[in-house]
Amino acid sequence: MSTAPKKTTLGMVLKGYPRISETFISNEIRLLEEMGFIIHIYSMRAPRENFSHDSIKQIKAKVTYLPSSMFFGLPAFLWHNIRLFLRMPARYRECLKLMKKRYALAPKKYTWIKHMLQAGYIMQKSVIDDGVDLGHLHGHFAHTPTTVTMYAAKLADVPFSFTAHAKDIYTQDPRRIEDKVDLAKFVVTCTKYNEQYLKKTVANGNPIHCVYHGINLDLFSPNGRTTTAKPPYKILTVARFVEKKGLDTVLRALAKLRAEGLEFHYTLVGEGKAKFNRKIENLIKELCLDDVTTLTGTITHDEVIDLLGSADCFTLGCREAQDGDRDGIPNVVAESMATGVPVAATDVSGVPELVTHEETGMLCPSNDVNALADILRRILTDNELRAKIIPAAREQVLKLFDNKKLIHDLGEIYKSHGVPCGK
């Protein structure tokens, strides 16, 4: 009697793919493939940007785009889920029971159903119809992608795991993460700050591993730049236009510095929803910074690297947002440090795990305009301080944020929990 072939595919459930702001995920997939993992990507929606980073071209994984709209996707949802129910009614009912238990915790009731239907679509369309040899599922972000991952794993009768990042941890009811931790084989998160929160708040003894995202150190080098900076100073921020980035604090700190006579040019890379974009543009005009500010919008990673090459300082005003959202360690902070660009930022969440005040960068409390202005002035004008911080910052990134090493460590964690690697 023949035995079934060994399942070898690692399914990755993502909110969207590819996404400009998630190079850390595409780098992770690419390097896991180099380790021998066979990956199939399940994207919960089509890409929203009209371009992607060059690193995406190196990824071999096939992508299945799940229907993202209950209205337009309903025919496909019903067709595949009815077929799946008829094929395995007992297992489908068990998954429905799991979904029912989570109903009271669902903030949007219509998504409560959609995520179950997306999971059924994965099982019937991808695993059964297309023959994807699924052995394990992993969700990126602890909210909706992991909900879909959990249901799909139940239907496919395979183990699952997930990576918890930032917003997905802090803006939802802890009970919505707790049941996922209960059922997951293991959990990964990207800062020690997150790890401690999860272990304190929702851990049940299941393994929670901290693995930093890391960056591709091959792309970042000081390239012989000096540590000395001269006016007009080039100040850079790269961030999504959202509350937690504290861009208003940065702008007010810059206005204070300008009023005190500091000469600079500020480049702000990124964008957000139209309402927030207008808010930032209006604040720039209100503070009379429009003649010394360049707004680039969203640009490619290569273009960000070019800007880092000429910047004298990188700054962020990260804070805890009203809904609890906060950053982990923004990768661009590590990229700046690796390029020889000193960082002036706030001491929120995991940032102090990489930036040590007056040693590998400058830190201040969030929402404190005067304090941010002070550390910006110091990091720009005190060349002795710059000479100390810049090499130490790069050394810190080399030590802690080498993504090749970190993703190798992540791959070994996967293997240790029985995630299939290779055929």
The CATH number linked to 106 is: 3.40.50.2000
DSSP 8-state secondary structure symbol assigned to residue 195: H
Q: Which amino acid is at 69?
A: S
Residue 102 confidence class, pLDDT cut points 50, 70, 90: confident
Among residues 277, 278, 279, 289, the alpha carbon closest in space to that of 252 is found at: 289
Q: Report d(CA 139, CA 151) in Å as an integer.
A: 11
Three-state DSSP state, 139: strand
The span from the CA of 12 to the CA of 29, in Å, is 9
Q: For residue 5, what pLDDT is reported?
A: 47
Same domain, 159 and 306: no
Residue labelled with tokens 């990229």: 335
Give residues with Cβ within 8 angstroms of 36, minimum separation 6: 421, 422
pLDDT at 29: 93
For the stretch 57-92, pLDDT in tens is 889 999 999 999 998 999 999 999 999 999 999 999
268, two tokens: 């702000």
Percent of the chain with pLDDT over 90: 79
Q: Evaluate whether residue 422 is within a structural domain.
A: no
Tokens for 121?
Answer: 């679509």
Count: domains in the chain: 2
Same domain for 91 and 224, yes or no, is no
CA dist list (Å): 330 to 23, 172, 188, 340, 356: 11, 21, 17, 16, 15
- Helix locations, 243-308, DSSP H: 247-259, 274-286, 301-308
pLDDT in tens, 336-365: 999 999 999 999 999 999 999 999 999 999
Whether 251 and 376 map to the same domain: the answer is yes
**pTM for the whole thing?**
0.88
Distance of alpha carbon 302 from alpha carbon 308, whole angstroms: 10
What average pLDDT is seen over the chain?
92
- Are residues 229 and 342 part of one domain? yes
**pLDDT value, residue 206:** 85
pLDDT at 3 over 80: no
* 423 is a domain residue: no
Tell me whether residue 280 is in a domain: yes
Do 330 and 206 reside in the same domain of the chain? no
pLDDT at residue 2 tops 50: no
As beta bridge partners, residue 161 has 138, 186
